A and B are shown apart, each in its own frame.
Chain A
Amino acid sequence: MRFSLKTVAAAALVSSLGCGSAMADWHKSYVIEWYEPAHYYGTDTGIVDPGTDCPAGSNPEIDHIKVLIDAGYTEQEAEWLRDQNHPYRLPNHGSNQMAFRGEGRANVYTQPWTYPDPGLTPVSGTISQGVDLDGDKGNGFTSPDGRTGIDNEFYRTVGCWKTYRGPDRLSSGAMTFNDSMREGSWTVAIVVSGSGDDPMNDDDVKVAFYDSQDALVKDGNGEIATDYTFIVSPHKKFEAIFDAKTVDGQIISTEPMDEVWMRDPSYNRELQLLKAQVHLKMEDDGRLTGVFAGYRPWEPVYEGWVRARGTVIESLTWVNLPGVWYALKRNADYSPEGADGEKTHISFAMRVEAVEAYVMHPDADEELTQVASFKDIAVEGPERPYRSFTRDGIVPDKDGVILAGPDAPIVPPTVTREELKSRLAAQKSAASGGQ
């Protein structure tokens, strides 16, 4: 494990921090090479097998023909809409029409409440990674290392959903997003600094998560190489600093941070955490592991999956998306407004694996030897929201016409594309009074 112990002039430190906090004389820096929702897979085999977390295994594949029939489509229509190989099936049509199965053929992705709650089997186990966010040891899960009161309702809600379930680093969702990060899409650098003589046991520690524009680099075995240099890229939003202490190498928050923002490895990209905490560990082999946790707004989670193209998510990840909306809403456990406010947030933890790295001051000319905020020097500019090619959870076809909708003709399979488009145009014309 590489520590950098430095004696830094107090004046310089105070100046850098912009406050009068204690001087830091050791630091350690990392770059995240993998992070994923902190879920506990309750068996040693497979990736969807029954386990203590989900006794029936991951939630099974949905029978979408039945879903459509239940929503009022005829059997013939449902079969045609789900027939990927039908020669006259229009691109996107059958898929897009899946959205319109709410009351009055409403789009269930944008209006999930128009659809009866189909349910989403929750985690029934008692073990979860995470942090005790509410200070109540009597509720929540027990961590794998025996800590009680772990608040992770997000895991309870979606932990049996195939996209989130699996052994560490093997759930399909985590692999998708981490692959993207590891190929260079984004980078999160971490600096840990303290003021004591013993980095492993220090009461005054800060942990910062920074955005960096320097891409991760893979080594000769396809893993993220250690010891690369990453320059902090000041960002108005993606910077999270935690007050903490170290106990035998574990980095534990000393007080929750009211609000931090991270780069989320998901379709949503932005992760807001309220009452955020860290529980990390500086491993002997130089890695940093553990979790950061807090209460995240649950609606953006659902919206992220919808934006990713709800119908495809439903097919590939074996889920009935309105069920996710209902479950998140049902299990949300925090309101910024207070105990009586609407529960807009849900307890959540992110498991982190980071490797040793050099993290540089935004000027790039010297190593960042102490945690500091750079939000004030972040350049104003456009945010970097996820740019979706979908609209309302479905994909417009190349002509800009969504051949699906509440009134779309669910046509027999012998109709050609041109005929279908012609009918649709006539329908639209009629609807607009012929104008």
Chain B
Amino acid sequence: MFELLADYLVFDLAGLDSSSKLGESVQFFVMDIAKIFFMLILIIYLIGLFRSFISPEKVRTYVQGKSKFSARISAIFLGAFTPFCSCSSVPIFIGFVEAGIPLGVTFSFLIASPMINEIAVVMLLGIVGWKITVLYVVSGLLVAFFGGIIMEKFKPEKWVEEYVWKIKIGETQNIKKDNCFEVRNRYAIGQTKEIVRRIWKWIILGIGLGAYFHGYFPQEWAQSLGDANNFLAVPMAVLIGIPLYSSTVGVIPLAEAMLIKGVAIGTTLAFMMSIAAISVPELLILRKVIKWQALLLFTAIVTVSIILIGIVFNVIL
């Protein structure tokens, strides 16, 4: 449907040559924009409805007092569904610590939350198809699960800033809300508008880059990156991805272009995960509650897990 629309607009209306590089890029650009904005609005709205039922406060109450295994599983799944802007990571961290939730579980939550989100899922579904979307989500869950466990082995409690242990937070308040559909609907529409307003530029930029590479990506680059036996490709992609911070949105179209040009799936996934999972602004904010040793360790563990997952995918796929 979107391809037909793009073909019509670009080749018939604008009269571009369908075999030229320019035509190919523009057609790709128009098709992706139509497809992604359509899915984005639909899915963010649905998730917004679902989200009006959960909040970090509820997650905390829910995870508190569970056995470590089920606490971690619920923290990861709730992390994947709960939005929080990076400025909330400090209150969430303190809230979890205060509730006696093990630090390893908190780290699992902090890994899962930025990496798996509806925007990334929509972009992946729309651009690279459901198989890679499932792979991405599953690997995100795995990194969050094992990352938290490994973090725990280092006893990170010793790195938590002194004052955090002393904070006594008030009784978690339940905000009085009307539970009718109208209120939830309004909340979901508000969220959709806000998210789209915040990310539309990045999507267009990302799709634009993807479209550009679609027509012009140098074949030699792709070949050197694309060799699955080249074990260096994955660490290289991850090391490039770590300092980049773009909340997955802008990267996915680029990932599509990489895949089309033959870069291995594991390398591409690792690249995307490394961009989403570690963000320097979030680390700087977390520094308020935990010493830099822990943050370095956290970064190292996540980096290594992503590299391993990338390599495993390259080998088995």
Q: Are A and B a genuine interacting pair, yes or no?
A: no
